[in-house]
Amino acid sequence: MILLQTLIHQTYFLMSAVIAVLLVTRLFRRKSRPGLAYDIVYAYTIIPFVLRALHIK
Amino acid sequence: MSERALVARRVALLAASLVVMVVGSTDIRALRAYRETVVVSEAFTRQVPLSTYFDGVRGTLMDVPVFLFDSGVPGGSVLILGGAHAYEPASPMMAYVVMENIAVTKGRVFVIARANMSASTLGMLGNAYPPFFRVKTPWGEAKYRIGDRETNPLEQWPDPFTFVHYPSTQNLAYQDSRNLNRTFPGRPAGNLTERTSFAISELIRRERIDMTIDVHEASMGYPVVSTYVCHERAEEMCMMAAMMLSAEQFPMKTENSPKSLRGLTHREIGDFTESLAVLMETPEPFIDKFVGPMTEALMLTGRDEFMQTAADRGLLYADYDMKTGATLDYRVGRHLGGAAEIIKQMGEFYPEKAVGVSWPTYADVMEKGIGAFLHDPGKAPRERVFRH
């Protein structure tokens, strides 16, 4: 049970890292919505995922 | 825009975001990394990790130090549990003042100052809490963490849709799965907070703790403020202690632990161990929802004009005057006096469980402030200095 809880807990950190990488990729490589506003949104939405992946917040 | 210019713009935005992240998380990282210093008194016997009593918390932030002060003279035993809710700072501060000044002439005293260490490493979401508060001492300022009510999600996540308390199966709010004062008596195969509760319950059982005093603070708009909350086995001594305190020191009420509200220390420790379970609440304006800016000054002084308005309209459950507020000294002093009195009453009711103990009194703290009772770690013997 504890092992399962630990696995689920660590999966969340992993998911955060994957989403952060995905957002960085989309910031640089996307075909739709190329405007500045979307660049800004992609750039700042990375922050919480990086903070979680790095065990900071 | 050329492809090169587009890439340059995006690199610049990503760099700016990372700068914002690093700068913005400075306080968060500082709070999580900071360790408080305590200089234990000459009565100190030994320190063991909580995992000594249950291995399920080993290697986690919840494997907190348990400090023992043993007189060597047969008598009763007491556990002082501080910091179950880290956002109630008079609780760990009371434990620290006890640890730094305690003298024990009979029996044993165990102290856990930061029962939920994890909760003390993050701020309270949405409340704009300052991360630290500082206490002035004769040798400088001592800095302490103001934490959250619940275990840090970095240690325990995700929350369930509904928290089902073990073993009663009562449904509680989802965030209570991370609330140390809703997870007692604990579950060995449960989540980290439940395992911590179980470890503390095991400590109480194995060390044959006669009385457990769980130290809290309450908002003044909450009826259970300035109160002992007692398991029915401790009911009479709580009433005596409250009467003595109200007559001689400060207003104190007493209330029985509700049998239908599960997971709290005063209910479950009383039901699942032989210990007499007592919880103490002191008035803390800082955690009321209708106060003004939640600043370090408010936490230290308890002075707030909105609180005064609520008091004028009869909405509070304790006396309040903005001129005096509810200072940290007052709140810690109340806890020191409240714990000393209930321990004294235990000895009156059960002489075989008597514990001879002394630490700064309510009057001492009101006169000199708690800073006068915190010792300079720079001048203390190294074996008595702990980082916490």
Note the ipTM here.
0.94
Chain B residues touching residue A28 (CB < 8 angstroms): 7, 10
Q: Do the Cβ atoms of A43 and B195 come within 8 Å?
A: no
Q: Do the Cβ atoms of A55 and B154 come within 8 Å?
A: yes
Structure tokens at B40: 């234990």
Half-sphere exposure in the Cβ direction for B201 (13 Å, CA):
26
Could you tell me the residue ranges of all domains in chain A? 2-53
Among B20, B29, B191, select the one facing A56 at the smallest CB separation: B29
Q: Do the Cβ atoms of B28 and A56 come within 8 Å?
A: yes
Chain B residues touching residue A43 (CB < 8 angstroms): 10, 13-14, 16-17
Count of domains forming chain B: 2
Is a pLDDT exceeding 80 seen at residue B1?
A: no
| Confidence bin at A31 (pLDDT 50/70/90) | confident
Identify the closest residue of chain A to B194 by CA–CA distance: A2
CA torsion B300→B180→B193→A15, rounded to 10°?
-60
As a whole number of angstroms, the distance between CA B18 and CA B283 comes to 41
Which pLDDT does position B75 carry in this prediction? 98
pLDDT tens readout for residues B179-198: 999 999 999 999 999 999 99
Q: Please indicate, yes or no, whether residues B287 and B267 belong to a single structural domain of this protein.
A: yes
Chain A residues touching residue B17 (CB < 8 angstroms): 43-44, 46-47
From B366, B274, B269, B285, select the one nearest B321 (Cα to Cα).
B285
Give 3-state DSSP helix, strand, coil % of chain B, rounded to 5.
40, 20, 40
Which pLDDT does position B316 carry in this prediction? 95
Chain B residues touching residue A51 (CB < 8 angstroms): 21, 25, 28
Q: Please indicate, yes or no, whether residues B21 and B93 belong to a single structural domain of this protein.
A: no
Which pLDDT does position B3 carry in this prediction? 86
pLDDT tens readout for residues B36-49: 999 999 999 999 99
Among A9, A47, A51, select the one facing B157 at the smallest CB separation: A9
pLDDT tens readout for residues B364-377: 999 999 999 999 99
pLDDT tens readout for residues B107-147: 999 999 999 999 999 988 777 889 999 999 999 999 999 99
Which residue intervals of B207-314 are DSSP H helices? Answer: 235-248, 265-272, 296-301, 305-312
Q: Please indicate, yes or no, whether residues B330 and B380 belong to a single structural domain of this protein.
A: yes
3-state secondary structure of B140: strand
Q: Which string of DSSP letters, residue by residue, matches B27-94? A: HHHHHHH---EEE--TTEEEEEEGGGT-GGGTTSTT--EEEEEE-SSS--EEEEE--SSTT-THHHHH
Do residues B69 and B108 make contact, with C-beta atoms less than 8 angstroms apart? Answer: yes
Structure tokens at B23: 């700068």
Identify the closest residue of chain B to A2 by CA–CA distance: B189
Which pLDDT does position B127 carry in this prediction? 79
**Whole-number average pLDDT of chain A:** 95
| Burial tier of B355 (Cβ tally within 10 Å: 0-12, 13-18, 19+) | buried
CA distance A19 to chain B (A): 15
Domain range spanning residue B347? 38-387
Q: Please indicate, yes or no, whether residues B1 and B66 belong to a single structural domain of this protein.
A: no
Q: Please indicate, yes or no, whether residues B121 and B156 belong to a single structural domain of this protein.
A: yes
Instruction: Give CA angle at B131 (B38, B367), nearest 5°.
Output: 50
Query: Which is it for the CA torsion B168, B171, B177, B179, positive or negative?
Result: negative
Q: Please indicate, yes or no, whether residues B171 and B305 belong to a single structural domain of this protein.
A: yes
Q: Please indicate, yes or no, whether residues B87 and B14 belong to a single structural domain of this protein.
A: no
From B187, B207, B206, B189, select the one nearest B197 (Cα to Cα).
B187
Q: Does B189 touch chain A (CB under 8 A)?
A: yes
As a whole number of angstroms, the distance between CA B155 and CA B178 comes to 10
Q: Does A1 touch chain B (CB under 8 A)?
A: yes
Do residues A57 and A48 make contact, with C-beta atoms less than 8 angstroms apart? Answer: yes
Chain B residues touching residue A39 (CB < 8 angstroms): 9-10, 13
Is a pLDDT exceeding 80 seen at residue B381?
A: yes
As a whole number of angstroms, the distance between CA B120 and CA B87 comes to 7
CATH number of B378's domain: 3.40.630.10
CA distance B368 to chain A (A): 38
Q: Does A51 touch chain B (CB under 8 A)?
A: yes
Q: Please indicate, yes or no, whether residues B91 and B194 belong to a single structural domain of this protein.
A: yes
